[in-house]
Amino acid sequence: MIARLSTQQADFQEKLSKLLAWESVSNTDVAQTVDDIIANIRQNGDQALIDYTNKFDGMDVSDISALTVDQSALKKAFDSLAEKEKIALQSAADRVHAYHQKQKQDTWTYTDDNGTLLGQKITPLDRVGLYVPGGKAAYPSSVLMNAIPAKVAGVEELIMVVPTPKGVANPLVLAAAHIAGVDKVFTVGGAQAVAALAYGTQTIPKVDKIVGPGNIYVATAKRAVFGQVGIDMIAGPSEILIICDGKTNPDWIAMDLFSQAEHDEDAQSILLCPDASFIDEVKASIAKLLPTMDRKAIIATALKDRGALIQTKDMDEAIAISNQIAPEHLELSVEDPQSMLDDIKHAGAIFMGRNTCEALGDYCAGPNHVLPTSGTARFSSPLGVYDFQKKSSLIMVSDEGANILGEIAATLADGEGLQAHAQSARYRIK
C-alpha cells in the first residue's frame, strides 16, 4: 500500500532518490502540441481560441462573447451561494488579504556621505493573467491565493481564465473572482489560454505575467512563453512531508498524508519518524481510513507509487532528510516545533504543531498556498505580493559624488578598455 523505509538500509539514498524523481515538463510530444497551439493562437487569435475550446472542453460556441463572463455574472454567482459558503469564502479572503498586506514593499531611498541619493522604486505590474484549473476539480481557493496578492501589490488589471468543460461554470470559482476583485474572466483553458494571455488576441489582452497552476499542457505552455511574459513557477504534483515525534494521533497523521495524496495520482506523501511502533500505528490507520475516502482510488495509487513511511535514527536525521527533500508542505507534528525552526532550511510552507494541518493553509490560514514543488524550495519562495511588484534602481549623484564616483568609474573603465565609459565619467569630474 505504501513503502516502508529506514535510513539504516544500505540502499536508502538510492530508494529515496527514486521516490523523489520527477520531471514535470519533459514530454516532447506535449511540447510539440503546445508549440503548435501557441503558433495558432498567435496567428488566428480569437478564432483559434474558440476552436480549441470547442474541441477540448466539449463546447459549441461561435463567438468569443460566449466565453466572456461579465462582472454582474460574478456578483450573481456570489449572491447565489448559501450563507455558510459566503461567510467561509469572505473569511478566507480577509485572512489572505491581511497576511499579504504585510508583504507589500514600498519605494525606499537613502543619501550617502557624499550627498548621492540611492534607492529602489517599487512598481506594481500593469496587467496579470490568472490561470485557474477547471477540469477534475474546481479551485476557488486558488483564485483567492493568486488574485489577492496581485491586488494588494496594486496590479491595475487582473485577467482570469478558467476552463468550463461542457459549459458548466463553478459558482464558487466565479464568486471567489468577485470577492478578490478580478477584472475580466474568460472561460477558456489549456495551453491555448496561456498563449492568449502571453500574446493577446482580439479580445483577451496581453498580460505581463501569468500565475496559477494547471496540468502538463498548461505547465509546458507557461515554460514556452516565459520571456515573453513572466511566470510564477512550473508546478509539479502536490507534496507533504510530515516530521512526527510519535506522539500525535496516528489517524491525524494518516489523514494529513491523504490530504495531498487525494489531489492526483502523482502527489507525494512522506512521513519521517524515529519511532518504529508509531509508524506501525500510522500504517494501520491508513488501512482503516482509506476505504472511507471518496477519492480512495487516487489516494491509494499516490501512496503506492510515491508515498513512504520512513524510520529515521532520530529527529535530527529527520530534519536533515527534510532539508534534502525540500518539500512543498512541511508539517512539524511535534511537541516544540519552534525549537526546530533554526535547523529547517528548505520548505515551501512550515506547519508547526499537532493542530496545524496542511489543509488549513490551503484554504484560510492566510499565507499563500501556491508553493514551490519538486525540491525547488531550495531556491524558490511561496507566491506573494513581491511577485507582482518590480523594482527600478534609483541613482542621483551629487556634485561631490560625481568627483569621487567619476574617478572610480573611469579607472575601472580604463581597466576594461571601455574608453567612452571612462570619458563619460571624467566629464562629470569638476
pLDDT band for 422, please (50, 70, 90 cuts). Answer: very high
- Identify whether 421 is part of a domain: yes
- Identify whether 375 is part of a domain: no
- Identify whether 380 is part of a domain: no
- Identify whether 320 is part of a domain: yes
pLDDT at 24: 61
For every residue of 52-73, DSSP letters joined together read: HHHHHH----SSGGGGEE-HHH
Q: 302-312, pLDDT tens digit by residue? A: 999 999 999 99
Over residues 84-102, mean pLDDT: 97
DSSP single-letter state for residue 145: H
Q: What is the CATH number of the domain that holds 140?
A: 3.40.50.1980
Q: Do residues 345 and 411 both lie within one domain?
A: no
Spatial CA neighbour of 306 closest among 275, 264, 344: 264
- Identify whether 225 is part of a domain: yes
Domain end point (choices 188, 204, 231): 231
pLDDT band for 315, please (50, 70, 90 cuts). Answer: very high
pLDDT at 154: 97
**What count of other Cβ atoms lies within 10 Å of the Cβ of residue 183?**
17
Q: Do residues 289 and 140 both lie within one domain?
A: no
What is d(CA 348, CA 345) in angstroms, rounded to the nearest whole number? Answer: 10
Q: State the pTM of this model.
A: 0.93
Say how many domains are in the chain.
Answer: 3
Over residues 3-31, mean pLDDT: 88
Q: Do residues 357 and 413 both lie within one domain?
A: no
Q: What is the mean pLDDT of the chain?
A: 95
What is d(CA 254, CA 192) in angstroms, rounded to the nearest whole number? Answer: 39
Question: Are the C-beta atoms of 413 and 425 separated by less than 8 Å?
Answer: yes
Is the pLDDT reported for residue 217 higher than 70? yes
Query: b/e string for 336-353 if b means 16 or more Cβ within 10 A?
Result: ebeebeeebebbbbbbbe
Q: Do residues 91 and 191 both lie within one domain?
A: yes
Instruction: Output the nine-digit C-alpha cell for 141.
Output: 481557493
- Identify whether 304 is part of a domain: yes
Is the pLDDT reported for residue 138 higher than 80? no
Q: Do residues 198 and 307 both lie within one domain?
A: no
pLDDT at 28: 87
Q: Do residues 81 and 181 both lie within one domain?
A: yes
pLDDT band for 215, please (50, 70, 90 cuts). Answer: confident
- Identify whether 346 is part of a domain: yes
- Identify whether 377 is part of a domain: no
Q: Do residues 39 and 102 both lie within one domain?
A: yes
pLDDT at 365: 96
Q: Do residues 13 and 74 both lie within one domain?
A: no
The single residue of 97, 100, 329, 346 carrying the catalytic annotation is 329
pLDDT at 134: 80
Q: Do residues 340 and 258 both lie within one domain?
A: yes
Instruction: Output the nine-digit C-alpha cell for 78.
Output: 456570489
- Domain extent, residue 108, equals 28-231
Q: Do residues 186 and 245 both lie within one domain?
A: no
**Phi first, then psi: what are they for 390, rounded to 5°?**
-125, 165
Q: Do residues 90 and 169 both lie within one domain?
A: yes
Q: Do residues 320 and 210 both lie within one domain?
A: no
The single residue of 239, 262, 328, 331 carrying the catalytic annotation is 328
- Confirm whether 329 is a catalytic residue: yes
Question: Are the C-beta atoms of 417 and 132 separated by less than 8 Å?
Answer: no
Domain end point (choices 231, 264, 299): 231
Q: 247-266, pLDDT tens digit by residue? A: 999 999 999 999 999 998 99
Over residues 71-92, mean pLDDT: 97
Q: 329-366, pLDDT tens digit by residue? A: 999 999 999 999 999 999 999 999 999 999 999 999 99
